[in-house]
Amino acid sequence: MNPTARTELTRLPKRGHHDTETIYPILDEGLVCHVSYNLNGQPFMIPTAYCRIDNTIYLHGSVGSHFFRELAKEIPVCIAVTHIDGLVMARSAFHHSVNYRSVILFGQTRLVTDEDERWLALERITEHLVPGRWDDTRQPNASEMKKTMVLAIVIEEASAKVRTGNVGDDPEDMNLPHWAGVLPITLQYGTPLQDPAQDSGIDVPGYVTGYGR
């Protein structure tokens, strides 16, 4: 993706990436994106589930949602996805940092009205959150589909920013008597808790017990 002034990194540009080989995996690993837009001069932002299909981000929500009704008006949005991989603790307060992977993308919303595209988006959002789940559920009925809005955002521009590695202290601080290093951060998933109203004879699916991203 060719950057413009919206996506060109000016601060630590060596951490910037504009290739889909970097951008897409960051998007695909995330569970939640933050969508921001402007309404009458007031900025708004909301976290929501999503999925990516090729160069398009899909969102879904209630047709009664004020947020989604505004986005359905085909407006420009900015979407962010971030992963925090570690806390970087330097000898000096100034050089403390975070190891992270993030994507900022720009596009315009489109209300999805084609039923095949709506169905595909809902399936892929479900599968993005929990691979294997869509075929192991009751599919949405006509009433539920009428209550659900699906939005598409073609990625017009995007940039990734990635920080990896160790501490970056100044040479004159290297012998200070303060611990320095990286505290890694990873996502861990707990033991599945079955719905107490459900028959205990139903086994927990392997895609739940073996869940990971």
Q: Is the Cα torsion angle 63, 65, 69, 74 positive or negative in sign?
A: negative
Three-state secondary-structure class, residue 16: strand
Per-residue pLDDT of the chain (213 residues; tens, 9 = 90+): 667 766 666 666 667 788 999 999 999 999 999 999 999 999 999 999 999 999 999 999 999 999 999 999 999 999 999 999 999 999 999 999 999 999 999 999 999 999 999 999 999 999 999 999 999 999 999 999 999 999 999 999 999 999 999 999 999 999 999 999 999 999 999 999 999 999 888 999 999 999 998
Q: In the CATH hierarchy, which top-level class contains the domain 13-186?
A: mainly beta
CA distance 129 to 16: 27
